[in-house]
């Protein structure tokens, strides 16, 4: 794992907890669900060069590396990368892990067949620059797969906020505990995310439109969460369901 000196984007705080979640997902329903989903986009008989942006504790490098692909995982958080290194070594998965800004990639043009990103794009400080970089490093007919949700738009939209409040009442009644995303460590997380530009726009509409402006062929799957989440997770994410944006570089 190569490292660079950089400022802390506050993700170090979450590294250990995220890593524990990822370890559990590697041994339950989630692993096979994601493997099946990726098999619909990637030829498992051909080793592909894949960039995982915001790799976190290394979930995608583990499942894609096990399929024989050449995976490079990047993250801005040194703590996340340490967890990824530990997790991939534990499972004897070969991959490259680098500390890097998602909007300032050091790779040459046309370096990868796929760029993948899970639950990170919403936190981008410069989404236009980042998306442009991700398309740049793709080969012709290469594919960008972005898995994300419109997590925090409710902070700036009164109608969305009302939906969240109504959902939380039902959630408390049904589940009987604090909601991890919308209530746990609220000040620490929301203060950081609220300054990010993608919290202020309607997604995935904005993402699709911008990627199309870069010349990509864009397809949206707004129900992908039903395939990679448990029934409880689908319910938990009712106000902000997971979406998949597929952008193919022309």
**189 — pLDDT class (breaks 50, 70, 90):** low
Could you give phi then psi for residue 182, rounded to 5 degrees? -90, -15
Residue 76's CB is within 10 A of a number of other CB atoms, namely: 22
Residue 135 is predicted with a pLDDT of 98
Q: What is the mean pLDDT of the chain?
A: 91
Within 8 A by CB and 6+ apart from 34, the residues are 59, 60, 63, 228
Residue 26 is predicted with a pLDDT of 94
Residue 14 is predicted with a pLDDT of 80
Per residue in 194-221, pLDDT tens?
678 999 999 999 999 999 999 999 999 9
CATH number of the domain at 12-150+201-248, out of 3.40.50.150, 2.60.40.1120, 3.30.43.10, 3.30.1370.10?
A: 3.40.50.150
**10 — pLDDT class (breaks 50, 70, 90):** low
Q: Are 81 and 75 in contact (CB under 8 A)?
A: yes
Residue 62 is predicted with a pLDDT of 98
* Rounded Cα distance, 148 and 126, in Å: 16
* Rounded Cα distance, 192 and 9, in Å: 8
| C-alpha to C-alpha distances, 48 to 70, 72, 219, nearest whole angstrom | 6, 11, 21
Q: What is the mean pLDDT of residues 152-179?
A: 89
Does residue 191 surpass a pLDDT of 70? no
Query: What are the structural domain ranges in the chain?
Result: 12-150+201-248
* Rounded Cα distance, 236 and 229, in Å: 10
Residue 39 is predicted with a pLDDT of 96
**182 — pLDDT class (breaks 50, 70, 90):** confident
Does residue 92 surpass a pLDDT of 90? yes
Instruction: Say what percent of the chain tops pLDDT 90.
Output: 77
Does residue 7 surpass a pLDDT of 90? no
Residue 176's CB is within 10 A of a number of other CB atoms, namely: 7
Per residue in 23-43, pLDDT tens?
999 999 999 999 999 999 998
Q: What is the mean pLDDT of residues 92-114?
A: 98
Residue 236 is predicted with a pLDDT of 92
Q: What is the CA angle 188-127-64, rounded to 5?
A: 85
Residue 223's CB is within 10 A of a number of other CB atoms, namely: 12
| Bond prior to 107 in cis (omega within 30° of 0) | no
| C-alpha to C-alpha distances, 168 to 83, 165, 181, 187, nearest whole angstrom | 32, 5, 11, 17
* Rounded Cα distance, 32 and 34, in Å: 5
Does residue 44 surpass a pLDDT of 90? no
Least confident of 17-21, 54-58, 228-232: 17-21
Residue-wise DSSP of 27-96: TSHHHHHHHHHHHTTS-TTS--EEEEET-TTTHHHHHHHTTT-EEEEEES-HHHHHHHHHHHHHTT---E
Does residue 184 surpass a pLDDT of 70? no
Instruction: Say what percent of the chain tops pLDDT 70.
Output: 91
């Amino acid at each position: 794992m190569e490292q660079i000196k950089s400022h802390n984007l506050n993700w170090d705080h979450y590294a250990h907890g995220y890593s524990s979640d990822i370890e559990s997902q590697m041994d339950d329903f989630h692993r096979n669900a994601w493997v099946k989903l990726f098999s619909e986009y990637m030829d498992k008989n051909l080793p592909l060069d894949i960039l995982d942006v915001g790799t976190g504790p290394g979930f995608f490098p583990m499942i894609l590396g096990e399929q024989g692909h050449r995976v490079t995982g990047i993250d801005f958080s040194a703590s996340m990368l340490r967890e990824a290194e530990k997790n991939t070594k534990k499972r004897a998965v070969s991959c490259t892990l680098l500390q890097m800004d998602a909007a300032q990639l050091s790779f040459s043009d046309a370096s990868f067949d796929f760029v993948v990103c899970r639950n990170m794009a919403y936190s981008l400080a410069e989404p236009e620059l980042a998306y442009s970089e991700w398309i740049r490093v793709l080969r012709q007919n290469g594919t960008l797969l972005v898995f994300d949700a419109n997590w925090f738009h409710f902070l700036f939209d009164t109608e969305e906020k009302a939906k969240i409040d109504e959902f939380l009442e039902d959630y408390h009644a049904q589940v009987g505990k604090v909601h991890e995303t919308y209530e746990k460590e609220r000040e620490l997380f929301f203060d950081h995310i609220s300054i990010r530009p993608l919290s202020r726009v309607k997604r995935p509409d904005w993402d699709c439109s911008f990627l199309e402006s870069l010349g990509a062929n864009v397809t949206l799957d707004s129900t992908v969460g039903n395939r990679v989440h448990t029934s409880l997770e689908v319910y938990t994410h009712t106000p902000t369901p997971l979406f998949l944006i597929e952008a193919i570089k022309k």
